Every structure is written in C-alpha cells, then in structure tokens.
Amino acid sequence: MQALSLVEVEGLAAAYEGPRVLEDVSFTLRAGERIAVLGPNGGGKSTLFRVLLGLLPPAAGAVRVEGRCGFVPQTERSRLDYPVTALDVALMGTLTRVPWWRPLGRSERAGGRRALERVGLGGFEQRSFGALSGGQRQRVLVARALVQEAPVLLLDEPFIGVDRPSEELLERLISELAGEGRGILISTHDIDQARACDRVLCLNRRQVAFGPAASTLTKAVLEATYGEAIVALDAQAAILPAHHH
Amino acid sequence: MHVLLEPWQQGIVQRAFLELALVGILGGALGCWVVFHGFSYSAESLAHTMLPGLVVAALLGLPLVAGAAAGLAGGAVAIALAAQVPGVGRDASVAIVTTTLFGLGVLLALSPSSPPGLSGLLFGDPLGVTRGDVVLTAAIAAGSLGALATLHRVLLVVGFDRVNATAFGARPAFADAALLVLVAATLLVGVQALGNLLVLAVVIGPAATARLLVRRMAPMMALAAGIAIAGAVAGLYLSYYANTAAGASVAAALVASFLLALLACRIRDARPAPSAARPS
C-alpha cells in the first residue's frame, strides 16, 4: 500500500530578485517518512523551505503541500534578550491556526505545556527563553512547531549548536513523530545525519539526487553535492570542513 | 500629611494627574513594544512629524488635535512605506520623512500669516488640560490598550524572530504599521500635557526602566504603566512645591527613575558572590 503523499514537488525552480538559486527539484514526501535535505551552505536548502512554507512563490514547476507546514528555523535567529518564557515561545505556534485577534484559551495553553513536556522541558514553562542552553532553546522551537499541529514538519539545521543529550532527544522525537504519520524534512550538511533518514534529497543549486539514503549517498553524488568541499571520503564516513556558526 | 494632600485639592492638579496617568498607562505599556522593536527613534521622529499638521490646523482655524492627528497619520504611513523600499533602511526612511515634514512645518510656521503661540506646543502644559482633553485621552487610551491586547501575539512573534515571523502567520509590515499608528495615538493625546519634545519621555522612560527589572512582556507593560503613574505624581509634587514647569518635572522624574533602576541593577550585578573575596 502506498502511503499518503504530503508534499509533491515537480520541476521546481526558485529565485529571489535575480537569477535562479534552485532548479529541477522533484520529490515526494510521504506520511511517516523522514527526508534529509543535504547540501552545502547556499545550496538551496533554505530556499526550498521558503517555497514549501509559502513565503516564496515558485519561479517554475508545481508544489503541493497537504495542509500546513510546521517549521523549526535555525535557533540563532531568535533573540535572546526578548522578554518571553519557554511557554510564550511554544504558544507562538498557535498563530498559524488560531486567528490572531482571538485570545488564547485554556486548551491552547495546555497544548503548549504538553508540547514542552514532549521535548523534555516539562517544568521549564516559566523559564526565560534567553536563559536556556542552546539545546534547550532548540527544543523549545521544536515544541512551537508541534503546537502548529501540522502534518508536515520542516527542520532547518536542527542539530547546530545543540548539546549531545538534546541531539539524542530530538532524534528520538523525530522518529516518533514520523511514526505517528507526519512527514518530516530535515535540512543538514551533516552526512551522518542524512544517513539516519529514510531518503535523502541532495541539493547544490539544483537537484543532484533523490532516493533511499543507503543507495543514494555515493561518492559521485556527494562530490556533485559538495564540489571541492569534500576533503576525504571512504566507505564509512565523509569528512566535511567544519561549519562554524 | 497636609503637605502631601494640599496639591490634590485643586481641580487643575486633579485633571493634570488624570491626564498624565492615562497618558502614562498607555505610554508605559506601548513603550515596552517600542523599546523591543527598536522603534524609539521612529517614535521620536513621529513626534516631530506632528508639526506641519499642527501649523496647518492653526492656519485654518481647525482644532489642533485634528491637525496633529492628520500630521501623525501621514507621517506614520510615509515612514512605513519608505521602510519597504529596498535599499532604504528603517533609519534612513524615518530620517527622510521626518526632515521633510518637519521642514514643511517650519516653513509654514514662519510664514507671515501664521498665528503666534505655536512654540507653546513644544513643551506642553499638563496644568492647562480641560475636562474634554481628559475624556478624549481616556477614550484613545482605552482603544489603544485594547488594540495592544488584541495584537499581543502578533507583536510577540514579529519581535522574537522578524526574519521567520511570516512562516508563523505574523507579517512584520503589519506589526510595524500597527505599532506606529499606536505610537501616533499616544503622541496625539500626550502632546497637550507634555509637548512635542517631552512626550517621548513617557513612552521610552518607563519602558526602559521596567526592562531592567522584569523578564516577561505582560508584567513589564504593567510595571512600566505603574512607573509612569508614579512619575506623574512625583513630577506634580515637584512642580507644585519647587514651582517648576509641570511637564518638564514629570519628564525629569521619569528619567530619574530610570537612572535609579540602572544604578540598583549595577550594584546588584556587581555584588561579589558569598565565597568570593571582597576587595578592600
């Protein structure tokens, strides 16, 4: 039985004001599936997410998204001096489904608390967001995406600046969420992270490859994805230049 | 006790306090958003964009509040639009609009047919407010506070992560325009009591003070409103007994509260941990 497809992209091209920054992208995301979007910085990962979120109209091709996309942006974008608690941030996820003028009710607040518990931050509701560790902040942003109650989740480099316990918790949570029938896209430039997913989509300003992680991540595909950036590659691991943020 | 109660037996002091308290509640609550959205400079500039509206109203014999409203609305829209032009930052767009409008106001004010007395609008006179002024201020404050409560979630999302706000259903341009309109409303009702140049003290001062003391938006807004009311009381006493200008006294009290809070925070943060050796 073929699982329900949540995202269908066919021949997508995208551009900001100027030349195309992404071309020839075609893939489907099925319910319960995790796809790693692999590529170098500037390779088009964030651009693809902007199109899927409806923030950037496609320059060509067709995009169909079933329902909404929940979104976990890179944590470094959020302000640390902002006067919000962990629960305040999680509840920001309600804005995509509860009209902006309507005050939040008890059930929404309970939903925010449940989302924080799910990312292992029960009891942290009233903590200042800026006072949390990098890994805890990332988990709060994942809780916000859970509050969005979307069938599709987009995670933009979710493991950058995240401590080891948070990383393990997030990996476990992501496979649980997929198990519940959500479709999950994870952008990363870490090949080991990509191997842990069901399928990989390799982007380097155009689609290099798309398929099951094990058979797709060949030396040729990785070289085409990263160009000269690959320093060494063997059967077990690829070593990429460290990305500093 | 008599010394404390005496000023309040006068109707003009009661009305001045009511006016300043209402402007303070609105300015304090709104000011927290102004401070965190980096709108302090925009707010100050908006105050100056009132000038041509005020002058034109005076020339045409219209109520000054109508002229101020027109000038502020025009200024707010022009700044919001100019900020959307690619390559023109928010700072530059504000500077362009403000200098243009302020220059226009000065040109009109200096024309031979202009009535005298416009300079009085620069520093305000809380002791000169009428019953009608207080009623108008109460109505606008109530409406603006209602708008702030309604917009709370949108403003919070935009201020937290402006770049990604749209992905969470909040448009930064909408939040900016709404904030500027509310700032304009506050300036409109505050200009009578505090004047074109001092009205900003009630928007920035209490919010900047409250920011030092609490870590969450809603309590910060409440505290800022309280600080503004306390500043009004302190300023009116100062004015009554030291015979100083009332508007300037209130502004001075608000600045003093900020400096006190800053000093208190510095002392708290500088206090060595119990185990650390105390320098002699």
Integer Cα distance of B209 and B211 in angstroms: 5
Asked whether residue A235 carries a pLDDT value surpassing 50, the answer given is no
CB A154 within 8 A of CB A72: yes
Give buried/exposed letters for A189-221 (b at 16+ CB in 10 A, else e): bbbebbbebbbbbbbbbbbbbbeebeebbeeeb
- Nearest residue of A to residue B159 by CA position? A82
Q: Is A183 exposed, middle or buried (0-12, 13-18, 19+ CB in 10 A)?
A: buried
Output the DSSP codes for A182-243.
Answer: -EEEEEES-HHHHHTSSEEEEESSBEEEEEEHHHH--HHHHHHHHGGG--EE-SS-EE-PPP
Collapsing DSSP to helix, strand or coil, B139 comes out as helix
Distance CA B271, CA B263 (A): 12
Res. B261: pLDDT tops 70: yes
Residues A161 and A42 in one domain: yes
More confident call, A117 vs B246: A117
Checking if the pLDDT of A240 tops 80, the result is no
Is residue A109 included in any domain, yes or no? yes
DSSP classification of residue A94: G
- Asked if residue A25 lies in contact with residue A59, where contact means CB atoms within 8 angstroms, the answer is no
pLDDT of A134 above 70: yes
What's the Cα-to-Cα distance from A10 to each of A3, A26, A68, B27, B237, rounded to whole Å? Answer: 18, 4, 19, 52, 72
Dump pLDDT digits (tens) for A37-64. 999 888 999 999 999 999 999 999 999 9
In a domain, A73, yes or no: no
For residue A205, what is the domain's CATH number?
A: 3.40.50.300
- The verdict on residue A75 lying in a domain is no
Counting one residue from chain A and one from chain B, the pairs whose CB atoms sit within 8 A come to 69
* pLDDT tens digits, A157-182: 999 888 899 999 999 999 999 999 99
Q: pLDDT at position A244, please?
A: 43
CA distances from A31 to A3, A5, B72 (A): 6, 6, 52
Q: Is residue A7 part of a domain?
A: yes
- A240 and A120 in a single domain? The answer is no
pLDDT of residue A146: 97
* A74 is a domain residue: no
The CA distance from B109 to B114, in Å, is 6
Query: Are A61 and A98 part of one and the same domain?
Result: no
pLDDT over 70, % of chain B:
92
Q: Same domain for A123 and A236? A: no
Measured CA distances, A73 to A138, A142, A186, B222 (Å): 9, 9, 11, 31
Provide, as residue numbers in chain A, all residues whose Cβ is less than 8 Å from the Cβ of B147: none
Express each pLDDT in B221-230 by its tens digit.
999 999 999 9
- Are B222 and B209 in contact, with CB atoms under 8 Å apart? no
Residues A99 and A213 in one domain: no
Looking at A148, A165, A182, the residue that finishes a domain is: A148
Q: Which two tokens stand for residue A45?
A: 């990962």
A132 and A37 fall within a common domain: no
Asked if A179 and A127 sit in the same domain, the reply is no
Percent above pLDDT 70 for chain A: 91
Residue B125 vs residue A44, higher pLDDT: A44
Residue A76 within a domain: no
How far is Cα A243 from Cα A160, in angstroms, rounded to an integer? Answer: 9
The predicted pLDDT at position B274 comes to 56
- pLDDT at position B57 is 77
* pLDDT at residue A238, as a whole number: 47
What local confidence, expressed as pLDDT, does residue B119 receive?
A: 56
Q: Kindly determine whether residue A79 and residue B211, on different chains, have CB atoms separated by under 8 Å.
A: no
| Cβ distance of B217 and A88 shorter than 8 Å | yes
Cβ of B170 under 8 Å from any chain A Cβ? yes
A50: nearest CA partner in chain B: B167
- Give me the pLDDT at residue B79, please: 76
CB contact under 8 A, A83 and B154: no
- The pair of structure tokens assigned to B56 is 């034109």
Structural Rg of chain A based on CA atoms: 18
Minimal Cβ distance to A92: which of B151, B168, B220: B168
Sign of CA dihedral B177, A150, A192, A130: positive
Q: How confident is the model at residue A21 (pLDDT cuts 50, 70, 90)?
A: very high
CA B131 to chain centre: 21
Chain A residue with CA closest to B168: the answer is: A96
Closest residue of chain B to A95, computed from CA coordinates: B169
Pick from B35, B37, B151, B160 the residue to mutate for testing the A interface (most A CBs within 10 Å): B160
Dihedral of alpha carbons A70, A142, B32, A110, sign? positive
Shortest Cα–Cα distance, B36 to chain A (Å)? 7
- Determine contact: B217 vs chain A, CB below 8 A: yes
Same domain, A164 and A183: yes
With a cut of 90, say whether residue A148 has pLDDT above it: yes
Q: Do A128 and B215 touch (CB under 8 A)?
A: yes
Q: Are residues A61 and A162 in the same domain?
A: yes
B137 backbone dihedrals φ, ψ, rounded to 5°? -60, -40
DSSP strand E in chain B: where? none
CB distance A186 to A163 below 8 Å:
no
The predicted structure's pLDDT at residue A198? 95
- Does the pTM surpass 0.90? The reply is no
Q: Where are the alpha helices (DSSP H) in A25-121?
A: 45-52, 86-91, 106-118
Residue B161: which of A73, A88, A94 has the nearest Cβ?
Answer: A73
To probe the interface with B, which of A49, A95, A98, A154 has the most B CB atoms within 10 Å?
Answer: A95
Of A77, A82, A103, which has the smallest distance from its Cβ to B163's Cβ? A77
Please indicate, yes or no, whether residues A125 and A178 belong to a single structural domain of this protein.
no
Determine, for residues B159 and A104 on separate chains, whether the beta-carbon distance falls below 8 Å: no
Is A92 within 8 Å of B156 when comparing Cβ atoms? yes
Residues of A in contact with B166 (CB under 8 A): 53, 55
Q: Which residue has the higher pLDDT, B161 or B46?
A: B161
- B233 has pLDDT over 90: yes
Report all structural domains of chain B as residue ranges with CATH numbers, in order of start: 2-264 (1.10.3470.10)
Q: Do B169 and A95 touch (CB under 8 A)?
A: yes
Q: B144 with B219: CB under 8 angstroms? A: no
Residues of A in CB contact (< 8 Å) with B are: 53, 55, 69, 71, 73, 77-79, 82-85, 88-89, 91-96, 100-101, 103-104, 128, 144, 148
Banded pLDDT at A243 (limits 50, 70, 90): very low
**Which residues in chain A touch residue B172, judged by CB atoms under 8 angstroms apart?**
none
Residue B280 pLDDT > 70: no
Look up the ipTM and state it: 0.88
- Residue A152 or A76, more confident: A152
Residue ranges making up the domain that contains A172? 1-67+151-245
In a domain, A79, yes or no: no
Same domain, yes or no, for A37 and A93? Answer: no
> Does any domain span residue A77?
no
Look at residues A148, A174, A196 and tell me which one is the last residue of a structural domain.
Answer: A148
Which of B150, B166, B168 comes nearest A101 by C-beta? Answer: B150
Picking from A148, A172, A197, the residue at the C-terminal end of a domain is A148
Number of independent structural domains in chain A: 2
Same domain, A168 and A61: yes
**H and E: helices and strands count for chain B:** 10, 0
Q: A175 to chain B, minimum CA–CA distance in Å?
A: 24
Nearest-Cα distance to chain A for B156, in Å, is 8
- Condensed to tens digits (0 to 9), the pLDDT of residues B93-114 reads 888 888 888 888 778 777 766 6
* Cα nearest neighbour of A85 on chain B: B216
